[in-house]
Amino acid sequence: MLWVVVFLLIALAGLVMLVCYAVWLAHKTADVLSELAVLGERGAQLAELVAEIGVPPEAPVDAAGKTLVPLPQRRTMSGDLSALR
């Protein structure tokens, strides 16, 4: 009769562990879904920023149709502007 009680206690412990795992898994699933929602918001913000980027209408165009946008001037460590052109 003692072995029946031992097996019932083992089964009960297993059931408790299963419930704990289910609760933990539900919390992790909620965390992942929350992060996916944040990722979606960041994607929408990125799409808005990319939509604002554009080539100015007065930009010169070469014979092949490519836009010629001048590079900004940068100074070298010595202060010379011509080295980067």
Structural domain contains residue 22: yes
Give pLDDT, residue 68. Answer: 67
Give pLDDT, residue 51. Answer: 87
Domain count, the chain: 1
**Beta partners for 61?**
67
Structural domain contains residue 79: no
Structural domain contains residue 80: no
In this structure, what DSSP letter does residue 71 have? Answer: P
CA distances (Å), 71 to each of 24, 50, 74, 83, 84, in order?
54, 20, 9, 13, 10
pLDDT along the chain (85 residues), means of 10: 93 97 98 97 94 71 69 61 51
Which domain, by its residues, includes 36? 17-54
Residue 68 · residue 59 · CB < 8 Å? yes
Give pLDDT, residue 9. Answer: 96
Structural domain contains residue 26: yes
